[in-house]
Structures are given as structure tokens and as C-alpha cells.
Amino acid sequence: MKDSYLTAGIKLDQLFRLLHRSKITYNTKTILRLAFLIQSACWSSFFALIEKARYAKPLKKAIMPDNPIFIIGHWRTGSTFLHQLINLDPELCTPTLFQVAVPDSFLVSYPYYRPIFKQVVSEHRPMDMVKIGMDEPQEDEYAIYRLTNYSPLENLVFPKSHTYFLNHGSPFLPSGRNLDIWKHRVAEFYKKIYFRHGKRIVSKNPFNSFRINTLLDMFPNARFIHIVRHPGKVVPSTIHMWNILAKQNALNNHGASAKFSEVTLFLKNLLDTVENDRKVLPPGTMVQIRFEDLEAAPVKVLRDVYQELGLLFSDTLEEKINIFIAQNRSFTKNTFSLTEQEKAFISRELEIQIKSLGYESDN
């Protein structure tokens, strides 16, 4: 079952909370998806109980990391490429597809799920030809969605209106006591990752672009890498991605494809939010790079990033990056064309952001 993968792996109690507060359109497709999710949740709950029995005491004594590196920025800016390159560093680690898919039990359930994942997980992401696998780096919002029951991804799976799901009015963080619960569960996930690998963690999560101050409160020595790309490339690619993910995961028919203007204005909001936060962060806390520069000279850009963040860029890492680039030289990116009206809209709405990032208006 290659549909509903955003929610598959969630525990039974969490799944029922989601279903209880959400609208579902019942038809053959959604009923099959629900059946798949319920059986998946049963297994997740079962393995979570085993993990708790086996690891509760060791995890209670485990070290809580205070220095993750967060890759932020809008979707489709090359953050996955950056994540893959940094994952080559033997001194660092990234959350994997398997770990974010079953965050409540990955310490014990890996050998049991491995043959299943080989059968149900595609070789490439549904929106492009980027390689995926259970041990490949993955965005940890999928773990946050499963662990906390609070993520904007819920609005993608359970659309509430025919508008862009990120504009449904839900903030990127809960409030009050729910925020304390959210922070605790996210921190415990990072603790488990560190317990498993014993290395500094590198997270890639565009949603975290709106959580910088909260993450610094949770992890005082955290660092941020903000990756950007020309908006003319980002906007149509983002629409393409969300359309595919919604088609494969939505459990009701209340959603609709995001409008070009909605995605453009959301990108503007994200860039402004990150820039406002960056201005008040202590020096050395955040570094900003452009995807175009990273693609053209990955070793140079990564070396500069490491220097700004106080990391050691080793000869071993340089060699691994060069091998990775050589092995993936034939990779072909998706291409999208814009109308003159769309180009004009981006140029008009993001004029300040485009200039500040060093781009030309016409992509």
C-alpha cells in the first residue's frame, strides 16, 4: 500500500484522535486507506509497547542533545540535496525514513519492518526522481505529525477547505500546555536518535522555518542552515509536490489544488519570517546558502557552511561528496514553465526578497 504513507506508522490512540476530530469522505478509496492505517497503527502500538518495556530505563538516563543542526527553508529549494550531502559526514547523523515513519518503535522494530519496507516503499519519491529508502535521510515533520498529533500535515490529510492547506489558520505550533507536550515529544524523539547513533543530529524540515525561537529554547546550542532557491523554480515545483501528496494521502474531498498566488505569498511569508529571526540571532547561529551555488560547487559551499558553523570539514567528507556527485551526475530535475503573468506576479510580490537573495526577477 503506497498511499497514506504520511499517516502510516502512527499509533492507534493517536490515529483515533485524528479520526475523531476530522472529516472523512467515505468511498472505496478512503475505506481501503483507513483499513490500511488501522492495521498499521496496531503494529505500531504493539512495537511501541515492546520498545517502552525494553528501553524505558536506558532512555531515561540517556543524554538529551542540545546542538542539532536544522536545515530550513521553503519546500523544493534543494534542502534534500543538502541533507544528503551532510549525511555523508561520518561525524553527523540524520533521521532516516524508517525512524520518522515509526518514531515510537524504531529502536526495536527495524528488523521486522525491513522486508515489508522493501516491498512497499518505492525507489524514488513520488514527486521527483530523488532516491528514497528506509535508511535514507528524511524530513522529520513526518515523525512530529505522528508523535504529537499537531502538524500542518494534518490539514493535507484531512483538508478543511478548498484553499491552500497551509493557509487553513492553524499555526505551526500549539499553544499553552499543548506546546509543552509538543516540545517534550519532539525532544524525546531527538533523544532517541542521539541514543541510537551517538552523533550530532542534522534535521531537514521546512516547517521548522516558523519555529526557530522555539527550537532554540529546546536546544540552546542549535544551528540553522537556511537554503533558498529562485522563487520561479520553487513555486511551480511546490504546487506539483503538494498535489501529488494530497492525491495519495487525503481522506476527504474537501481539498483543492493550491493556487499559484497562494503558494507565492506563502513563500514570501516564510522568507520574511526567517529573515526577521535571522537578524536577531547571535552571530554564527544561522548561515544562508543558495541552491544554485550549492549545485555548482558543493564542496566549496559546504566547506564555507562548516566554517561559519564551527564544524570540521574533513578530507574524508570532501571525497565522499565528490563520489556522491559523480554517482548522481545523471539525475534529472523536474522542469516547469511559467506564463508571463505568473512571472510578473512573482516579480511583483517578491521583488524585495528576490533582490536581497541576489537573484534576477525573470527566472
SS3 label, residue 332: coil
For the chain, domain boundaries: 12-356
pLDDT tens readout for residues 35-76:
999 999 999 999 999 999 999 999 999 999 999 999 999 999
pLDDT at 305 over 80: yes
CA angle (360 as vertex; 359, 363 as ends), nearest 5: 100
The C-alpha cell that represents 103 in the structure block: 518514531
- Mean pLDDT throughout 234-257? 91
Q: Are strands 69-72 and 286-290 parallel, antiparallel or unpaired?
A: unpaired
pLDDT tens digits, residue range 248-285? 999 998 888 889 999 999 999 999 999 999 999 999 99
Task: Provide the whole-model pTM.
Answer: 0.94
Q: What is the pLDDT of residue 1?
A: 46
Nearest residue to 199 (alpha-carbon basis) of 316, 306, 312, 67:
67
pLDDT attached to residue 9: 93
Overall average pLDDT of the 154-158 stretch: 93
Strand, coil or helix: 246: helix
pLDDT attached to residue 361: 72
The whole-number pLDDT of residue 160 equals 87
Among the residues of the chain, which ranges form H helices?
12-20, 28-61, 79-86, 97-101, 106-120, 141-148, 153-157, 177-197, 212-218, 231-249, 260-280, 291-296, 298-309, 315-327, 340-349, 351-356
Q: What pLDDT shows up at residue 335?
A: 83
Q: How many whole angstroms separate alpha carbon 221 and alpha carbon 150?
A: 25
8-state DSSP, 124: B
Residue 144: pLDDT over 80: yes
Mean pLDDT taken over the chain: 92
Class of the 12-356 domain?
alpha beta
**pLDDT at 127 > cutoff 80:** no
- pLDDT tens digits, one per residue of 173-207: 999 999 999 999 999 999 999 999 999 999 999 99
What is the pLDDT confidence band of residue 299, given thresholds at 50, 70 and 90? very high
Higher pLDDT, 4 or 350: 350
Model confidence band, residue 123 (pLDDT cutoffs 50, 70, 90): low
